[in-house]
Structure 1
């Protein structure tokens, strides 16, 4: 393994350090957000197959860990859109 590969691998590990100790549902939501730029809570529930209440809990935990950011949807101000910060 080259030095560049080792550094890249270490940076990837550090990237997920804030999420590592969170519940499995929060890890799943974070991974889905990693694959998709921005999703609403209902879209996350659909993608993860988790109940909406569990997604809400996972997002709260991720926000507390400063791993996600949210903003209001321009098309529907009642919805919030979430994206991964890490």
Structure 2
């Protein structure tokens, strides 16, 4: 489990956020929920937290990114990795 203590809220109006998630696959919804609870997380951390395979997490992140629902930045702890959070 991750040790992050920052809770992230859906960045937009909750109804609009949910509407944009509605047509996405279940994996994207799960990744969004994990990010809502505990962000920022790397792809590997998301896989650990969601119990999804890395490939599925990568697909989910791509779908969330296509809908502009997720932001990424390079990790301060390891600049080779990106960390993800819900978009503002």
TM-score w.r.t. the length of structure 2 is: 0.81
Q: Gapped runs of 5+ residues in structure 2?
A: 1-12
The SS at the match of 1:43 is helix
The SS at the match of 1:71 is strand
2: CA distance, partners of 1:69 / 1:59: 9
Report the CA distance between 1:35 and its aligned residue.
0.5
The SS at the match of 2:83 is strand
**Which residue in 2 is equivalent to 1:14?**
16
The structure number with the bigger radius of gyration is: 1
* Higher relative contact order (Cα pairs below 8 Å, separated by 6+ residues): 2
2: CA distance, partners of 1:41 / 1:26: 13
- Per-residue displacement from partner, 1:26-69 (whole Å, max 9, x unpaired)? 00000000001210000000000000000000000000000000
Runs of 4+ in 1 over 6 A off after TM superposition: none
TM-score w.r.t. the length of structure 1 is: 0.83
**Which residue in 1 is equivalent to 2:64?**
62
The SS at the match of 1:69 is strand
Q: Gapped runs of 5+ residues in structure 1?
A: 1-10
Report the CA distance between 1:85 and its aligned residue.
1.4
